[in-house]
Structure 1
Amino acid sequence: MPKSLAGEQIGILGLARSGLAAARLALARGARVYASDAGDSDASRQAAETVRSLGGDAETGGHDLTKLGASDRIVLSPGIPPTAKVLKEEAIGGIPVVPEIELAYEQLDCPVIAITGTNGKTTVTALIEHLMRGDGIDAVAGGNIGTALSEVALREPQPAWAIVECSSFQLGGIRHFNPKIGVLTNLAPDHLDWYPDLEAYYADKARMYVNASADSLWILNAEDERAATLLGDAPGTRLYFRAETPPDSEDELGGWVSSGTLVIRTEPGRTERVIPAAGLQILGPHNIANALAAALAARLAGASLEGIAEGLRTFQAPPHRLQPVADVDGVLWVNDSKATNIASTRVAVRGMTRPTVLLLGGKHKGEPYTELLPDLAGHVRAVIAYGEAAPLIVADLEGKAPVERVDGPFEDVVRRARERAHEGDAVLLSPACSSFDMFRNYEARGERFAQLAREGRAG
């Protein structure tokens, strides 16, 4: 049953979708709420008005530290990094700060499947939901995928399962969050513009295991050594997925590919063939790994083998993840705007089967672009560097890869890509950077790219 929050004063930082949902949830459970947002956009002002209409207190354009200082705890929207200035204010020192998923988890009356990792989280989250719902199981995806977990917690009746995409920022502050099933897709450098080093980033990912028990079920990437061992000696059952290697033993639980077919084993002595890998609509070896991870999670949560097979056959890539958006004059345009780090862009480039014009740029996140060089050779006809990161990209790649810099608006970037692409080529937006120099988020960047591609012109 939902837990009453009567008598509790809750501060909420951020009034985007998750912050607003957290405010709604806290107020519905009887708490007093003060919510604030440093921004002052139309959307944030409208969200503040909604909070006030529900009986809470809210403001935009800054934070009232006196009101925040009176909170019993502060709930953090996922878009606010742990390095945010307001979190260092003395007035709120000592007050517990928790992510929105922590507040929502307390109010859920259903088990949770949590998905984290550097890349593939959104695809795996969406795929698990697709497999389970297609099999008649009332499963709802939330968290970092777009629907706030607090929205799921407010749902009546509660779903049978909540499927939660978790960022490192969200996991770093959890206290009681404890998934029944946890998936770790992979680990690679990311968010080095916020974390002091790679180990700090990985440590936040490892928080998924902090409340593990003997009943926990952990699905791990056997082909990523750090991901396979991150949980250390945490209790629970381990299942390993492998896209390119066989299991280590006849007793290993997990998923792999055997004679071109996806195979899963979720309990000793029961090995099940799912579908041929060629039957997937999502492309690339990384998506075979994603499909195996999702199939394992869905099977553990009660989905039938037949339902999983049908779901894998019908699932299509989520928006902004290697999503074909146009074929104009023989040039395929592919939107991979969610690739906001080097590792994700490397995966995208490896999966391209056509000569490719790569759009690379945005707001720099601290990684060297030289790490792309092994994958650019043989795949990429041209790299077009743009945005704030363009000078760094050119400095790292010039003389080693065919790179050029385009200054000016995004329309000019797309125009130049169109000029460089030949019939039979692909234009790939896989930026390896965040979007915040030109766009409000990666979705807006991908949508603009798709629009320009379909128009057949730039501007």
Structure 2
Amino acid sequence: MELRGKKILVVGAGKSGISVARFLVRRGAAVALTDTRTKDKFNGELDDLIDSGVQAVLGNYPEVMPGTFDMLVVSPGVPPTVPPVAAAMRHGIPVTGELELAYRFARAPMVAITGTNGKTTTTALVGEIFRAAGIHTLVGGNIGLPLVDVVEGYGPEDMIVAEVSSFQLETARQFRPRVAVILNITPDHLDRHGTMEGYIAAKARIFARQGRGDITVLNYDDPRTRMLAEATGGQVIFFSRRHNLKEGVLVLQGRIVVRLEGRETDIAAAGEVAIPGGHNLENALAAVAAAFALGVKPAVLAHTLRTFPGVAHRLETVAVKNGVRYVNDSKGTNPDASIKALEAFDRPIVLLAGGRNKGSDFTELARLAREKVRVLVVLGECADEVERAARQAGCGEILRARDFREAVLTAHRAARPGDVVLLSPACASWDMFNNFEERGDLFREIVNSL
């Protein structure tokens, strides 16, 4: 992809957009960066870009017409319906994203991981496995580090492990990872994709250009994911914690086992996986499938599964105080993620739930909460929806909080020794925070100050 001298508009001045603008400047492009936020909202974050020659169009979008720009690069959080993107598509101006841009300049093989839930944990685990195997490994993408920042520092002998979201995959065109992993697909982001079919189609773009030499790792236990085996051109490796697969990665008599090409390889006891919960066992199976397929030895896999502690904001134990365990699961941004979090514990739970709904239904979460949750603290933009579902399901004590700090303190007062106070909101954080990390950090700060 030749960028020198090209007029390129970057739409969205978040972390991804700023990284893209820097990358394009380094490549000699004439860059404009646009965002609906005004300059005073950025606290000087854009000053170095402007000094390097980037034109900042802030507060409103520039008009996109034939001849104004050679290409648009759209940040993941920007929907394709915004005026500059819609206009570019109408006029035949190429539209791409940071993931596609990074891929075009990548020289290392890539393992790309997507799914509604478990992406960050699995990406971090796969990265840890390759590092333990002595391979120079980049872990980035939707996990927090834009790939364009560092992708050029990795060569053919190295490895890139990328968490990719449905938003990033929308603009993927030539993207073709050596290994594509889909962990699961449950309703999420329907406010963006419109229908489950649209959401599934976006996820499936992860393997759209794969061929016979590539590998697609799919969750056999998830029907929507299993069905995608018919659509990929890559070699399919299933993983399952419930079925005795003839071929794939499975749990057999309490052991994680790989069955491929007529051979059976024992990896480790399922109970030795350090990260808690059945969903994390599934994540571990997916990680084993991806790494084993690329030649990582069983001993390395076993060691990493036993020692990997998990990631921040995903079932992260913050503290144990007066017999109460405080757990930060701020990354639980949809009901299915929060269901998995509830299933990970076998003691009474005080649950903090609520935020911005992304088009989800809370019925199933409320049904499980009736069995597992002793006290439910609801908060945020969709507190009414969460409370209504909980009352219809017959949940017990339900408390309301006006803001996040009050919610944590309310949960603290309601907790008894032996309880788990669990922040797993089942919602996005955007009504009160910039992202789920900010929400989880505040939870940690409040808990530690109790």
**Per-residue deviation at 1:92?**
6.9
* Residue 290 of structure 2 corresponds to residue 297 of structure 1: yes
CA contact (8 A) 1:48 1:59 kept: no
CA contact (8 A) 1:394 1:403 kept: no
Structure-2 residue corresponding to 1:401: 395
The one of 343, 347, 364 equivalent to 1:350 is: 343
What does residue range 328-347 of structure 1 map to in structure 2 within 5 Å?
A: 328-347=321-340
How far apart are the structure 1 equivalents of 2:343 and 2:197? 27
Structure-2 residue corresponding to 1:444: 438
In structure 1, list runs of 5 or more residues that go unmatched.
none
Matched position secondary structure for 1:95: coil
Change (3 A) 1:173 1:155: same
The one of 19, 22, 26 equivalent to 2:20 is: 22
**Per-residue deviation at 1:97?**
1.7
Change (3 A) 1:192 1:150: same
CA contact (8 A) 1:385 1:403 kept: no
CA contact (8 A) 1:295 1:308 kept: yes
CA contact (8 A) 2:72 2:85 kept: no
How far apart are the structure 1 equivalents of 2:232 and 2:294? 21
* Residue 310 of structure 2 corresponds to residue 317 of structure 1: yes
What does residue range 9-408 of structure 1 map to in structure 2 within 5 Å?
A: 9-40=7-38, 44=42, 46-66=44-64, 70-84=68-82, 86-89=84-87, 93-155=91-153, 160-247=158-245, 249=246, 252=247, 254-265=248-259, 267-399=260-392, 400-408=394-402
Write the letter of the residue equivalent to 1:440: N
How far apart are the structure 2 equivalents of 1:172 and 1:423? 47
Measured against aligned partners, the alpha-carbon deviations of 1:85-122 in whole angstroms (never above 9, x if no partner) come to 55345797432221210111111111111111100111
TM-score, normalised with respect to structure 2: 0.94
Change (3 A) 1:434 1:83: farther
Count of residue pairs the alignment pairs up = 449
Write the letter of the residue equivalent to 2:114: T
Write the letter of the residue equivalent to 1:177: F
The one of 417, 423, 426 equivalent to 1:429 is: 423
Write the letter of the residue equivalent to 2:145: T
TM-score, normalised with respect to structure 1: 0.93
**Per-residue deviation at 1:36?**
1.6
Change (3 A) 1:348 1:264: same
**Per-residue deviation at 1:405?**
4.2
Structure-2 residue corresponding to 1:454: 448
How far apart are the structure 2 equivalents of 1:172 and 1:94? 17
Write the letter of the residue equivalent to 1:96: P
Write the letter of the residue equivalent to 1:17: K
Percent sequence identity over matched residues? 37
Matched position secondary structure for 1:438: coil
**Per-residue deviation at 1:414?**
0.9
In structure 2, list runs of 5 or more residues that go unmatched.
none
Moved more, 93-102 or 129-138: 93-102
Change (3 A) 1:98 1:449: same
RMSD, aligned α-carbons: 2.0
CA contact (8 A) 2:112 2:164 kept: yes
Moved more, 85-94 or 395-404: 85-94
Measured against aligned partners, the alpha-carbon deviations of 1:211-263 in whole angstroms (never above 9, x if no partner) come to 1211110100000011011253321211011112211x2xx1x2111221111
Matched position secondary structure for 1:377: helix
CA contact (8 A) 1:206 1:231 kept: no
How far apart are the structure 2 equivalents of 1:281 and 1:22? 36
